[in-house]
Amino acid sequence: MSTAPKTAAPAAGRAATKKELPEHFKAYKHVWVFIEQERGQVHPVSWELMGAGRKLADKLKVDLAAVVIGPEGEATQSAATEAFCYGADLAYVVADSVLADYRNESYTKALTDVVNTYKPEILLLGATTLGRDLAGSVATTLLTGLTADCTELDVDSDGSLAATRPTFGGSLLCTIYTLNYRPQMATVRPRVMPMPERVVRPVGRIVSHPLGLVEDDIVTKVLSFLPDRDSAKSNLAYADVVVAGGLGLGSPENFQLVRQLAGVLGAEYGCSRPLVQKGWATSDRQIGQTGKTIRPKLYIAAGISGAIQHRVGVEGADLIVAINTDRNAPIFEFAHMGIVTDAVRLLPALTAAFRARLSPHSRDRIAS
């Protein structure tokens, strides 16, 4: 049985609606990526999107631009200059002290103003908490379409953005076109696109755009900022080694075996969705379509069947090792190595073996 999702025949559906692009669409040119930064930190998904955006721009033979919105100062400027190292031809910068903290009103105003002024044909944002919030309100304000949580981005023969995403619970992939509106907007979750190589390049053209808003115009006020002090919070999406467990482990106690192996390997631990639903793990540990997308160098999946909704979150892993009692489990169709055995017995043995062989120093090196 193949669990690979099928693409829902977009070409046929599209052919029926395809028509000459309106004349005023010609004013919309170039591919833009919103560079998400909070408190001076650029979210890595922005650079991943620069890689995807570069490919689209090259196909369309247009420029790739970064859009940086933030407070005046060093961090915002350096986010713009860093964008050139990830392939930007130019950067639009809206810098104003009222943009120090993300607020939907001010960021929506900043982004929609720049879009209305310089008219990109494609605008990409990360499907992060901030990106989802901003993309929705920007698309609504601009009265254009938005395809959320895309897994593939391409351009069609007529230059339209072909934005592909899972649908029907992940069993189908559909390709969505924004035929009648501009810009064509899409969000992509962290780790779905590969991280492009950073190449030091000379700083390109930076276009500054005024915000045209003062603090009194903004209803939402930031009273204080509470940093996330939860040291146990997962870094699953960007971990190099991930060990995950599924329902096959049989009990929350057995799920601890996954955590123990992850601990010895210096890895992050994760799980399939039913474990979150049962309360065996917190939702930030869920891997898959409605959880995190991961791209580790090594992924060990214990007692996980490999349903399509889980598969889409792990396919980018360099090496997938599956442990399952059922040799016909779907996970063996895409795992690089399969072990047909009882994970509850194997996991402690693996933990003991790695503990004996790995010094703390060499554990750090597993990931490198």
Ligand X SMILES: Cc1cc2nc3c(=O)[nH]c(=O)nc-3n(C[C@H](O)[C@H](O)[C@H](O)COP(=O)(O)OP(=O)(O)OC[C@H]3O[C@@H](n4cnc5c(N)ncnc54)[C@H](O)[C@@H]3O)c2cc1C
Residue recorded with tokens 């123990």 = 260
Q: What are phi and psi of 244, to 5 degrees?
A: -130, 155
Q: What is the H or E stretch that residue 34 is in?
A: strand 31-35
CB of 314 to ligand X, least distance (A): 9
Q: Are 329 and 311 in contact (CB under 8 A)?
A: no
Kindly state the smallest distance separating residue 244's Cβ from ligand X, in Å.
9
Closest alpha carbon to 83 in 37, 122, 123:
37
Q: 250-255: which pairs have CB atoms within 8 A and are 24 or more residues apart? A: 250/303, 250/344, 252/278, 252/279, 252/280, 254/344, 255/280, 255/281
Spatial distance between the Cα atoms of 286 and 144, rounded to a whole number of angstroms: 32
Alpha carbon distance 204, 199 (integer Å) = 13
Give the residue with the Cβ less far from ligand X, 134 or 317.
Answer: 317
Q: What 3-state class would DSSP assign to 73? A: coil
Minimum CB separation from ligand X for residue 164, in Å?
Answer: 17
d(CA 71, CA 23): 37
Question: Minimum CB separation from ligand X for residue 262, in Å?
Answer: 16
The string of DSSP letters for 126-178 reads E-SHHHHHHHHHHHHHHT--EEEEESEEEE-TTS-EEEEEEEGGGTEEEEE--
Residue 247 CB, nearest approach to ligand X (Å): 3
322 within 8 A of 17, measured Cβ to Cβ = no
User: Please, which residue, 266 or 330, has the CB nearer to ligand X?
Assistant: 330
Residue 347 CB, shortest distance to ligand X, in Å, is 9
Q: Cβ 239 to ligand X, closest distance in Å?
A: 16
Cβ nearer to ligand X, comparing 90 with 307: 307
Work out how close the CB of 307 gets to ligand X at its nearest, in angstroms, rounded to a whole number: 4
How big is the chain by its Cα radius of gyration, in Å?
22
Q: How many other β-carbons are positioned within 10 Å of the β-carbon of residue 37?
A: 22
Q: What would you measure as the largest C-alpha separation in the chain, in angstroms?
A: 69
Q: Which is nearer to ligand X, 328 or 359 (CB)?
A: 328
Binding region for ligand X (CB under 6 A): 169-170, 246-248, 272-274, 286-291, 303-305, 307, 309-310, 313, 323-326, 329, 342-344
